[in-house]
């Protein structure tokens, strides 16, 4: 039967990110004077976020409740779950609980941000328990595309919550650590208040491909190839990396590592004994030149066509030390992330121009998702049998589809909640309600600046990228408004000055007319007003003659 304890407090669950979007995962659990966080992730910038490096959740709600914030619990080591940890720790000195690999990846980040002294890291293992005030948490083994993924069973005074983390049900995992059906099932027998379940792959029917099947497809490629093999893969996908390393050993190839994150992650995995990859099987760039092509395997980053990645630079023949050549086989062992398709296809075309053969997920089964497909999502609901169901981790359509799936499984519609970022889900003795929204949002990180790039700045960047820039500079006498120098017109990204000089000459005439008119009106000089007038008239001029709207920046010096 469902766990119930006498209480008149409301158990609040508030997503601060990750619901209605891919990435940015962060969830608040709040009871009485205690708040804990589940995950602190980032998202990578969308196309319209020009110049932005990463995006992190807005911590406003946490600042308002700083004295109650107790701990951060992390489900696994992907960027969309740990990427915001350094920014969180800068502002909140709280302990962090996670699995060994997850904490090792977090530690590496904290070193880069000079925050090691601020970190209080607590290692947890599957089936271990911790107490954080009114929250009693058991960590449950799940399968994902990175080792050490954890689901959470969270006992609270209002009942037990299950948070799935990112998961799939893989019965043949590479490391032998199977999805712990027994523990999820045991909690289901006991009674669950609410299930919060990963929605990323809800649109995919059937079951997610096992990582072992990917290994079989990779083995076929190794059997076929006599030249160099270059495998591009996410550096966090240690299961895939392990299979590739084993195949290299089997087929007498030695391994060159390429890409900073690849080198770092493999070092961490070796230190934790999560990877069977002896150092003697690795080669340097100097050794690469001495080996025959049939004995070479390269493991590299850049499977998503990232502009500065090693693979992209190799494709464009811009890498100082590595070149693609005829006879090479390039394996892009990852999914084409939506939005990256055009970039990846461009990389593929350039790799073919270099004489290589390219194999990707659309032609061979060389990638397996780390997320559960529909049949596995059904299995999770059947195991847990919650009173309430709340889909998490996905864009809005994923949440809708997952809610519909729960209802197909027999759950009442009123018990399947569609929740977005900032909505407060309150569990109390009367049941469940969705109360007021709290402040949420996205904070842009651009270089060393955190939060100083906002909507207006992005709007200006978009404007500049689409319409270009015109700078009009002049020097005038403050008493007479007589023009002492200029006007000079500088154009960037607007028109080619030599191709259409008459346009810029016309712009100068517009400025002369503005000054003549103001002199006739006995205008009292105000630089800001003068700049506004010049901007307004140039805007009208460029719209009339070209139907374009560049960013116009007048610079007026007064002497």
Residues acting as catalytic residues:
198, 371
Classify strands 96-98 and 121-123 as parallel, antiparallel or unpaired: parallel
Outline where 32-171 has alpha helix (H): 60-64, 79-82, 85-91, 100-112
Task: Return the bridge partners of 489, or none.
Answer: 472
Q: Specify whether the backbone of 46 is left (phi greater than 0), alpha (psi in -120 to 50) or beta.
A: beta
278: CB partners within 8 A, 6+ apart: none
Q: Specify whether the backbone of 73 is left (phi greater than 0), alpha (psi in -120 to 50) or beta.
A: beta
CA distance linking residue 518 with residue 527, whole number of Å: 12
Residue keyed to tokens 């027999």: 410
CA distance linking residue 396 with residue 20, whole number of Å: 4
> What one-character DSSP code corresponds to residue 116?
G
Burial of 480 from C-beta contacts in 10 A (0-12 / 13-18 / 19+): exposed
CA distance linking residue 144 with residue 368, whole number of Å: 10
Is the preceding omega at residue 487 within 30 degrees of 0, hence cis? yes
Q: Specify whether the backbone of 305 is left (phi greater than 0), alpha (psi in -120 to 50) or beta.
A: left
Tokens describing residue 405: 């799936």
Q: Say how many C-beta atoms besides its own lie within 10 A of residue 181's C-beta.
A: 16
3-state secondary structure string across 261-298:
HHHHHHHHHHHCCCCCCCHHHECCHHHHCCCCHHHEEE
Q: What is the CA radius of gyration of the chain?
A: 29
Classify strands 34-38 and 19-20 as parallel, antiparallel or unpaired: unpaired
Tokens describing residue 426: 């309150």
Q: For residue 449, how many C-alpha atoms fall within 13 Å in the half-sphere facing its CB?
A: 9
Tokens describing residue 32: 């009485």
Overall size of the chain counted in residues = 559
């Amino acid at each position: 039967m469902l766990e119930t304890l006498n209480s008149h407090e409301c158990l609040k669950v508030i997503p601060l990110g990750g619901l209605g979007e891919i990435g940015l995962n962060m969830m608040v659990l709040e009871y009485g004077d205690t708040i804990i966080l589940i995950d602190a992730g980032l998202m990578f910038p969308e196309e319209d976020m020009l110049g932005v490096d990463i995006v992190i959740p807005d911590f406003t709600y946490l600042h308002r409740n700083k004295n109650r914030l107790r701990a951060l619990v992390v489900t696994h080591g992907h960027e969309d779950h740990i990427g915001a940890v350094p920014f969180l720790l800068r502002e909140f000195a709280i302990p962090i609980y996670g699995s060994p690999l997850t904490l090792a990846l977090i530690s590496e980040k904290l070193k880069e941000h000079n925050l090691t002294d601020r970190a209080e890291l607590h290692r947890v293992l599957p089936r271990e328990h911790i107490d954080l005030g009114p929250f009693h948490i058991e960590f449950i083994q799940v399968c994902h595309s990175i080792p050490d993924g954890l689901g959470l069973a969270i006992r609270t005074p209002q009942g037990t919550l299950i948070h799935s983390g990112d998961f799939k049900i893989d019965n043949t995992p590479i490391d032998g650590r199977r999805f712990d059906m027994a523990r999820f099932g045991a909690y289901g027998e006991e009674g669950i208040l609410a299930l919060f379940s990963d929605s990323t792959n809800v649109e995919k029917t059937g079951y997610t491909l096992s990582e072992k099947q990917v290994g079989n497809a990779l083995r076929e490629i190794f059997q076929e190839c006599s030249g160099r093999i270059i495998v591009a893969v996410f550096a966090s996908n240690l299961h895939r990396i392990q299979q590739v390393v084993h195949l290299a050993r089997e087929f007498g190839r030695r391994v060159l590592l390429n890409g900073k994150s690849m080198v770092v992650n493999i070092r961490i995995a070796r230190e934790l004994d999560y990877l069977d990859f002896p150092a003697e099987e690795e080669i340097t760039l100097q050794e690469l030149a001495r080996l025959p092509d049939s004995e070479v395997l390269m493991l590299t980053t850049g499977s998503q066509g990232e502009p500065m990645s090693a693979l992209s630079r190799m494709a464009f023949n811009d890498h100082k030390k590595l070149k693609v050549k005829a006879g090479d086989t390039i394996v892009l062992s990852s999914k084409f992330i939506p939005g990256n398709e055009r970039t990846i296809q461009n990389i593929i075309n350039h790799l073919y121009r270099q004489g290589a053969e390219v194999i990707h997920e659309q032609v061979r089964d060389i990638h397996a998702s780390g997320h559960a497909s529909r049949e596995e999502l059904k299995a999770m609901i059947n195991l847990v049998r919650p009173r309430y169901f709340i889909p998490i981790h996905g864009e809005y359509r994923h949440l809708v589809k997952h809610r519909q799936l729960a209802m197909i499984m027999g759950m009442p519609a009123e018990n399947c909640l569609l929740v977005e970022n900032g909505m407060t889900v309150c569990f109390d003795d009367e049941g469940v309600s969705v109360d007021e929204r709290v402040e949420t949002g996205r904070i842009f990180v651009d270089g060393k600046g955190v939060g100083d790039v906002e909507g207006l700045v992005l709007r200006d960047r978009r404007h500049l990228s689409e319409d270009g820039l015109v700078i009009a500079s002049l020097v005038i006498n403050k008493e007479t408004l007589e023009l002492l120098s200029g006007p000079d017109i500088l154009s960037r990204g607007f028109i080619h000055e030599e191709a259409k000089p008459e346009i810029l000459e016309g712009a100068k005439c517009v400025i002369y007319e503005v000054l003549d008119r103001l002199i006739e009106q006995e205008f009292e000089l105000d630089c800001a007003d003068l700049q506004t007038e010049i901007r307004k008239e140039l805007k009208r001029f460029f719209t009339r003659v070209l139907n374009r709207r560049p960013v116009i920046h007048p610079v007026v010096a007064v002497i």
